[in-house]
Copies of this chain bind each other. A is one copy, B any other.
Amino acid sequence: EQSICLVVRDADAEAAVAALEAAFDAELRRGDVSRVYAIPESAVVSAVGDQMRHQPGLAGRMFATLGRSGVNVLAIAQGAAETNISAVVRDDEVAHAVRALHEAFPMRRTRAHVAVIGTGTVGRRLLDMLGAQAPALLDGHRLNLRLVGLANSRRMALDADGIAPADALARLGDGDAADLDAFVAWLLESRLERLMVVDATASAEVARRYVELLEHGIGVVTPNKRANTLDLAYYRRLREAAQRREVSYHYETTVMAGLPVMFTLRDLLRSGDRIERIEGIFSGTLAYLFTRLGQGAAFSEAVAEARAKGLTEPDPRDDLRGEDVARKLLILAREIGLAVERADVAVESLVPFHLAEGSVEDFLEGLKETDADWQQRVAAAGAEGARLFYVGLIEDGRLSVGVRAIAAGSPFDALQGTDNVILIRSERYHETPLVVQGPGAGPDVTAAGLLADLVKAAELMP
């Protein structure tokens, strides 16, 4: 079975069909030729080179590139001279197809597209890094990472031809009013190859769009803990969509920012290890508080001090409730395969019940009532050669977040300032744990982690 395809001018198409139908009249009636038809408004896109037939993979690269770019190939022709491979595509897809092939062929570069949602400190640092690292990524990794969209809660800018990261905030200022539906719809319809969304917000609304994005072959890279801590059914849909569409969903920065935690766990699991216990300090703010507490500071004093240094949320109760640590623990637990919900995390809140409401000032004042209790707890731990830390713990399938007395001699001892630490014990790391420690928050290390996730995602997307 064979289709023979001739390219003629649109104006001649009708006459050509009529002429061929007349010439093949007998064959058409016998069924030897099934039909003669014209595809209007088409164009031929060719790759030309020496000895192309003897270079296995060139045709593959060409059609794979067109496929990834969402270009419909209507017909394929290999020239008799063995110097070209041609594809017939719709007229309105020519520019798109040629641009994609230019990227794929001469320099063998990988082209990937990025849309960033969120222009807080992390989002803005990421834009800086995208601009600064673009030449190195192109030279060193043949990766052409193009920004095509930016949005925050007020405005949005979209441009398939690319937005220079340095101009992005200005372009956003001149952009349309923010409309998440319209933003997502534009991405879904853009057919840009290796398209990834960076969600640099803390918004549940944005997180609820991930499944839709992934199902349409759009990657998601995020430090936003929301999506992975929604109900388990949504979490499973996320994972399933990413796997089915072979598209990257990377959230390394949700736990301990740029430190290598999620990919380390993934590597352990993929090589067949079984995680037995995860223990760690996942809040820089609380790490700082307990260091000061250990040094003899009163609890209320340490909280006020941390707030003055900008280490806490505007209302420090948002840190002291332990909710952020509980979310990180939930993400870790799900990553190692536990079917758990947020409600399964036992959380010790450091906010006394009667101080849960009211102004921040009243809260800080009221907290002084607890200083004596804290002093006693610290002393009791010290008497046993231990120190207090606010720890997240996964053990025997149970998740708990709260204050624990840790005996001297552990990696917790060396913690400085607001550093985080994670201790992973597994079948293979059984006697002594695998430990990762360092600054686990901050715009710089988070944005750097996002960029590393983006590069990995672009490499992995087919």
Binding site for B on A (CB under 8 A): 1-6, 34-35, 53-54, 56-81, 84-86, 108, 129, 132-133, 136-137, 140-142, 243, 246, 258-260, 263-264, 267-268, 270-273, 409-414, 416-417, 419, 428-429, 431-439, 444-445, 447-449, 451-452, 455-456, 459-460
A81 touches B428 (CB 8 A): no
Tell whether, in the assembled complex, residue A435 and residue B436 are in contact, meaning their CB atoms are under 8 Å apart: yes
Evaluate whether A108 and B267 lie within 8 angstroms (CB atoms) in the complex, with A78-B75, A451-B272 already known.
Answer: no
Q: How far is the CA of A53 from the CA of B173 in the complex (A)?
A: 42
- A332 to B256 alpha-carbon distance, docked (Å): 24
How many Å from the CB of A164 to the closest CB on chain B? 17
| Contact partner, A3, options B72, B80, B434, B447, Cβ 8 Å | B80
How close is A301's CB to chain B, nearest CB, in angstroms? 23
A341 nearest CB across to chain B (Å): 22
A412 nearest in chain B by CB position:
B414
Most B CB within 10 A of own CB, among A74, A417, A432, A444 = A432
In this complex, what residue of B is CB-closest to A37?
B80
Give me 10 other A-B pairs in contact (C-beta within 8 A), A416-B432, A435-B435 excluded: A60-B66, A75-B78, A129-B271, A141-B270, A410-B414, A428-B445, A429-B438, A429-B445, A435-B436, A436-B436
- CB of A451 within 8 A of CB of B271, answer yes
Q: A4 contacts B1, CB within 8 Å?
A: no
Q: A60-B63, A414-B411, A434-B259 are in contact. Are A78 and B129 (CB under 8 A)?
A: no
A56 near B70 with CB under 8 A, answer: yes
Which chain B residues lie closer than 8 Å to A74 at the CB level?
A: 53
Q: List 9 A-B contacts (CB under 8 A).
A: A2-B80, A57-B64, A129-B272, A133-B271, A133-B272, A136-B272, A258-B428, A267-B456, A409-B414
Contacts of A141 in B (CB 8 A): 270
Question: Assuming A4-B2, A271-B449, A411-B414, is B80 touching A260 (CB within 8 A)?
Answer: no
Q: Which residue of B lies closest to A71 (CB)?
A: B56
- A414 to B414, Cβ gap below 8 A? yes
Interface centre among A2, A63, A258, A444 (most CB of B within 10 A): A63
Measured in the bound complex, the distance between the Cα atoms of B1 and A412 in whole Å is 72
Q: Determine if A438 and B434 form an interchain contact, defined as CB atoms under 8 angstroms apart.
A: yes
Contact A67 B59, beta carbon cutoff 8 Å: yes
Q: Which of A4, A72, A140, A429 has the most CB of B within 10 A?
A: A429
Task: Determine whether the beta carbon of A72 is less than 8 Å from that of B84.
Answer: no
